[in-house]
Structures are given as structure tokens and as C-alpha cells.
Amino acid sequence: AIATRDPVEAGLEQLTTILRASTAAIAVRDSDHTFAVVANHDSVPTERTVGVPADSAPIEANAVATISTEADTTDAAVLLRQLGGRAGLAIPLSGDPIGTGYILLIDRLGASDHFKPDEVQLFSSLATNLASRISAVDLLNRLELQARTDALTGLANRTAIEAELERRLDDDTSTGTVLMLDLDRFKDVNDSLGHQFGDALLQLIADRLQDHLREDDLAGRLGGDEFAIVLDTQHQPDLDRHLASLTQRLTAPAEIQGVTLETGCSIGVTAWPTDSTNGVELLRFADIAMYEAKRTHQTWVRYTPSIDHASADRLALLGQIRQAIT
């Protein structure tokens, strides 16, 4: 169940069902004296924040503890009381990356409210598997985030940009714009001042992009000094204003390590569904428009099929020149 569903919800449900308990809970320590608790009351998970006294002691690690409301001063017993329980079991979330805490089983149903030795052993096994699953889910979430994030700038990477485009293009009513941005003379910065300086410049540009984005926009670094932006607008007057504002923001003088730079940029613009409804193709069109902007010394160029043909012609001419030289 915990492998195929949300591990917290499924785990709490299974613990109460298999071990015939009134309530199961997962408590994760927020601070020294506060826990975030998800408790399964009547099969409905509820969330709350629970405080514990400063003198409450943690229970022993890697072992199941029997807890009660009678003269028990551990933090797990305090949590038990806060959740309305009389007696129960607790096991630490030892080694879990989301923080120190407990899995709790509260109030055995039936003639006796105390859990039997075989039930304690079963709880230990089930709770350990649940804790491992919660750790695995957290780890997978972090790995997925890393796989979609550019390590240097913290922006989305090419994979994330392509995935976001495909997500938006799945909606037949969706419209939007893709911008491809390249910094002018970035190689000169790297060659003259070093790659460390170049990396700092890229991080500064990324921060400026993030500050300029609206809620539904996404910016990413595709590699080197190339950035892509997915915009939620295609209306030309709005787009012109956005491009003017973005260009002004990006080309403002920047001071890095005591050196003041004025950076230029070239921007290629393409739109869906006007130009294409394919994410990879849209990125290619934006790239073609960007190089046309760089070639013609314009700040931005909107993609048209004519510049695409010109690009193909130039590539063909380049191949012919190489053959001629040979």
C-alpha cells in the first residue's frame, strides 16, 4: 500500500487497521519544542502543530517504546496526550532526511488498551518499512528537483523547460511565447577575467531574470550563456512592453568583484500556436531568431520562416565554401 499510494496516508491507514488501534500518527520535529503531526483520526488524516515542554526527553533510538499518560515525561508521551490518547507505542524516525520524529500508535481497540508483545514486534517491522518509504520519497523528490535544475544558477534546465512547454502545449487553448536569450561578448568576459567571473555574471543574470518573471513564467539556463523563458503572453503590445522592460533590466550596469560591466543581449522570439505546437521545434525557432538578432545587431527578432530558410542557406553556403577551399 505504501509503495503505490501516498506513504503517509496509506501508512497511517494500514497501521490502524492491521494493529487495531484507535489512531496512528507521524510526528516530525519542527524545532526543539515543536512537532508537526499528521494523525489518522477515524481514517481521515489531520495535520496540526504540537508543542512539548523543554524538559521532555526523547525516547531511545532504534527501539519501540511503550508510552502512556501515567508519569511518562518523554516527548512521545506528551504527543500521545496532546492527541487524546491513553497508551500506545512509539518508534523514532531515525536517520530520516525530513527530520527527527516518531511514528506513533495510539490506544489499542478491544478489551485491553495495551499492545501485546507480538503486536509490538509487528509494529516495529511495519513502522520501519514506513519510515524507509518516507525517506525514499523525500530522496526521490530531491533527486527529481536536481534533475530539473541548473546547478550554477538555480534556474530550470533544458529538460524542465521542454517538459513545461509540452505540458502547456497539451492544452489546445493555450497560447504563449518562448524567448531565447544569449549574452553578447560573454566569451570575452571569460577569456579576460576568468571562468569564476563568468559564473558570477551568469548567476547575476539569473537573479535578474527571476526578479522579472511573473507568476506563470518560467526561466531556464540551457547551457553556456543561453537562457530560455516561457511566457504566458502572446499579445504583441504586451510582449513589446515586456521585452523592453526585460532588456533594460538585463543590460543595466553590473558590478562583480569590483568590476563594472555593461552586458548586452540578443533575444529570439517565437510563439505558439502561431509558429508551432511542438516544444522542441519552438526552442529551435527561438534559437534561429536569436542568432538573427545577433547577426543583425538587433536587441530582439521575431521568428519568421524567411529567416529559417536564410539560416539553411547560410549552412549550405558554408559547406560549399569549405569544399571550394579544399
Q: Which pTM does this prediction carry?
A: 0.57
Most confident listed range (28-37, 100-109, 282-291): 282-291
- pLDDT at 234 (0 to 100): 61
Rounded Cα–Cα distance for residues 238 and 215 (Å)? 16
What stretch of H or E contains 80?
A: helix 75-82
Active site includes 308?
Answer: no
Mean pLDDT of 274-303: 92
Question: Which listed residue (182, 184, 217, 225) is catalytic?
Answer: 225
Confidence (pLDDT) at 66: 87
Give the pLDDT confidence of 97-155 residue by residue, as tens digits.
444 788 999 999 988 778 889 999 999 999 888 888 877 677 667 667 777 888 889 89
SS (H, E, C) 158-207: HHHHHHHHHHHHCCCCCCEEEEEEEECCHHHHHHHHCHHHHHHHHHHHHH
Contacts made by residues 62-71, CB under 8 angstroms, sequence distance 24+: 62/92, 62/94, 63/91, 64/89, 64/90, 64/91, 64/120, 64/123, 64/124, 64/127, 65/89, 65/90, 65/91, 66/114, 66/115, 66/120, 67/104
40-94 residue pLDDT tens: 876 667 878 888 888 888 887 677 888 887 778 888 888 888 888 888 999 988 6
Tell me the three cell numbers of residue 127. Answer: 513502522
The predicted pLDDT at position 54 comes to: 81
Q: Is the predicted pLDDT of residue 95 greater than 90, yes or no?
A: no
Residue 257's pLDDT band, with cuts at 50, 70 and 90, is: confident
CA 222 to chain centre: 17
CB 288 within 8 A of CB 314: no
